[in-house]
Amino acid sequence: MQKIVITGANGMVGQNLVQILLKKGYTVVALGKGDQRFKVQSDQFSYYSADLTHPFEVQSILAKEQPDCIVHCAAMTQVDDCELNQKEAHALNVEATARLLLDAEAYSKFFVFLSTDFVFDGETGLYSETDPVKPISWYGQTKVEAEAIVETAEIPWAIIRTCLVYGLPVEAGRQNLFSWVKSSLETGKAIKVVDDQWRTPTWVQDLVNGIVLVIEQKATGIWHLSGEDLLTPYQMAHAIAEKFNLDKSLIERVTANNFSQPGKRPARTGFTIEKAKTRLGYAPGDFRNNLDRLKG
């Protein structure tokens, strides 16, 4: 069975991807910032604390492990942080990706890069893989630059773009929209949620299932993996409140103009996922049905 390296393993996508790959019998080598934040019981798992911005740290790991595939999830993804710390964001999202790709060409056979809907300007929405990119934030710009680098790879590569990933919070991980809305309402905290930004939100389990399909089929090129429901965060918050019997009156409908944020958000993204459905067999769940699964 193949050996897979996952960067950004401490994040929500990384942790869920580690679990599903181990269940499927893969050997998993996880790279993360600092200590391992999650528990794994498997002889087929190893973890390295690695600074991707260091010129040689990751190279030595890959030279030792010789993985069949690298899934590059690590990134600076907070839009405002990227805008305020542009040099740091470029170092991790672009320069570290370039170095990792060079190492992958030397020590691996397939490179999978996780990207975002923020490579688009949000003027139209429901983007396909062939639509032209036009970022409006520094975060989106760094992902566009990184994608361009990946496309030059001398080994087979895949770029997986996804959109507003949600799911159960992971150990020592950041909040996502689902966990933020649910925990806020459970504690009686009033929240302001935008109703003028449209997305096709992606359940993390659907995303990692899609990543596995790309790995198993060695499906090269660009892939859009998201849900199919086109929703605003406000609509998502209402659906979460209804599903978990929480107080909807705590949710205040606002627009993007209510917030003063350093990083600009595209108004309408979301994906057409027909390519992934027909060629990969990707089959994401309906948003409200996924909430039932999260309810458990």
Q: Can you give the pLDDT of all 296 residues of the chain as single tens digits?
A: 899 999 999 999 999 999 999 999 999 999 999 999 999 989 999 999 999 999 899 999 999 999 999 999 999 999 999 999 999 999 999 999 999 999 999 999 999 999 999 999 999 989 999 999 999 999 999 999 999 999 999 999 999 999 999 999 888 788 999 999 999 999 999 999 999 999 999 999 999 999 999 999 999 999 999 999 999 999 999 999 999 999 999 999 999 999 889 999 999 999 999 999 999 999 999 999 999 999 97
The pLDDT, as a whole number, for residue 162 is 98
Q: With contact defined as beta carbons under 8 Å apart, do 67 and 5 qualify?
A: yes
Q: What is the pLDDT of residue 90?
A: 98
- pLDDT value of residue 171: 82
| Torsion 231-237-242-244 (CA) sign | positive
pTM (whole model) above 0.95:
yes
pLDDT value of residue 289 = 97
Q: Where in the chain is the domain with CATH 3.40.50.720?
A: 3-166+200-229+272-280
Distance CA 84, CA 3 (A): 37
Q: What pLDDT was estimated at residue 127?
A: 98
Side chain identity at 22, as an amino acid letter? L
Q: Which long-range contacts (CB under 8 A, 24 or more apart) does 178-187 make?
A: 178/236, 178/240, 178/294, 181/236, 181/237, 181/240, 181/241, 181/251, 182/240, 182/244, 182/246, 184/250, 185/240, 185/241, 185/244, 185/246, 185/247, 185/250, 185/251, 186/244, 186/246
Q: What is the DSSP string of the chain?
A: --EEEEESTTSHHHHHHHHHHHHTT-EEEEEESSS--S----TTEEEEE--TTSTTHHHHHHHHH--SEEEE------HHHHHH-HHHHHIIIIIHHHHHHHHHHHH-S-EEEEEEGGGS-SSS-SB-TTSPP--SSHHHHHHHHHHHHHTT-SS-EEEEEE-SEE-SPPTTPPP-HHHHHHHHHHTT--EEEESS-BB--EEHHHHHHHHHHHHHHT--EEEE---S--B-HHHHHHHHHHHTT--GGGEEEE-GGG---SS---SB--B--HHIIIII---PPPHHHHHHHHH-
- Contacts within 8 Å (CB) and 24+ apart, 176-181: 176/12, 177/201, 177/233, 177/236, 177/237, 178/236, 178/240, 178/294, 181/236, 181/237, 181/240, 181/241, 181/251
Short-list 202, 183, 195, 199, CA closest to 244: 183
CATH: 3.40.50.2020, 3.40.50.970, 3.30.950.10, 3.90.25.10. Which one for 177-197+231-269?
3.90.25.10
Decide if domain 3-166+200-229+272-280 falls under CATH 3.10.20.30: no
User: Where does CATH 3.90.25.10 sit in the chain?
Assistant: 177-197+231-269
